[in-house]
Amino acid sequence: MATNTGNGHRIGSVKDRTQTHNPKNDTYVKRDTDTGRFIDVKSDGTPFKGVAQETDKRRK
């Protein structure tokens, strides 16, 4: 798991999670890499902190 520092950032990325941008409603969606299910949607339009983008291939 990622380690919270208390300074507004994390060290490392969250395991078994990826995120992708939904351009239709301009939100970010968090996905479980094991099952492929969507977990959470962030409504403010900014990406989740510490979660790998699907396009950067850090997670499979």
**pTM (2 d.p.):** 0.72
pLDDT, position 26: 93
Distance CA 42, CA 60 (A): 22
Asked whether the predicted pLDDT for residue 60 surpasses 80, the reply is no
Name the phi and psi angles at 54, rounded to 5: -70, -30
Residue type, 25: N
On average, the pLDDT of the chain sits at: 85
